[in-house]
Structure 1
């Protein structure tokens, strides 16, 4: 059995914050503002995984009102989401994601992002696709007010079955 999920996240760009995408710190004059490290890419992937099993969204599992998650690496959140999914009898088969940002250019960092995400999900990096695009200066991403990310995941049932039938 397979399950598909889609995720989306957005955070505001502001001075005084670090820009973290896919667990990679990227040099830039602005960073993403959020309760955690505001890694929109990893947040979108978490939401896609949770959505595939109808488990709600990242805000329900890691609320911004909980001080335990203040400044936390989103890769730690992804690890916890993956462990939850595994405990229910599923594994992530593949991830396809896109980051929408006018700047900075993300090509030099995409391979490390793929490696980080694959390592946490315990899958081969060839099953993790990270793409980047601009909006040709249209919308909030184009005005460099924020960055968004979309993700689609495919979960597959582990051998021995799952608790979700």
Structure 2
């Protein structure tokens, strides 16, 4: 059986925070605000995986009300999520994600993001895709107020 999940995340851009996307620290005057490292891309992938597995959402597993997760590396959270999802023969078939960020341009960093996500998921890079787009000056992304990401994960489950 095939199961698919969708993940969505947003974070505000603020000064004095690193900009971490897909586990890559990108030089920029603004970074993403959040309880953990606020890696919007990785958070969307986590939610997509949890959704495909029927395991709730990121806030249930890594709540921002728990100081234990303060400043957490989101790739570590992704590794933990993989362990929750891949039980009983379930296999992660594919992950596809889009990051929405007005600037800086993410093209130079996309392959490193893809490699980081694939590594944390123990997948070949060919089974993880990362795209990037801008807000074209519209909405909170276009006004450089924040970033968003959308991810879709496909799991292959053993037949019941």
Shorter-normalised TM range: over 0.9
Aligned to 2:81: 81
The within-5 A match list for 1:7-46 is: 7-46=7-46
Aligned to 1:136: 136
CA deviation after TM superposition for structure 1 residue 87, in Å = 2.2
Q: Does 1:109 align with 2:102?
A: no
- Return the alpha-carbon distance in structure 1 between the equivalents of residues 18 and 71 of structure 2: 11
Number of matched pairs? 160
The within-5 A match list for 1:49-88 is: 49-88=49-88
- Return the alpha-carbon distance in structure 2 between the equivalents of residues 53 and 87 of structure 1: 10
Task: Detail structure 1 runs of 4+ shifted over 6 Å in the superposition.
Answer: none
- Return the alpha-carbon distance in structure 2 between the equivalents of residues 27 and 92 of structure 1: 31
Describe the SS at the equivalent of 1:115: helix
TM-score by length of 2: 0.97
CA deviations 1:122-143 (Å, max 9, x no partner) are: 1110111100001110000000
Higher mean displacement: 117-126 or 83-92: 83-92
- Return the alpha-carbon distance in structure 2 between the equivalents of residues 41 and 85 of structure 1: 18
Listed as ranges, the gaps of 5+ residues in structure 1 are none
- Return the alpha-carbon distance in structure 2 between the equivalents of residues 4 and 87 of structure 1: 16
Report the RMSD for the aligned CA atoms in angstroms: 1.0
CA deviation after TM superposition for structure 1 residue 37, in Å = 0.2
- Return the alpha-carbon distance in structure 2 between the equivalents of residues 88 and 66 of structure 1: 29
Aligned to 1:126: 126
CA deviation after TM superposition for structure 1 residue 91, in Å = 1.9
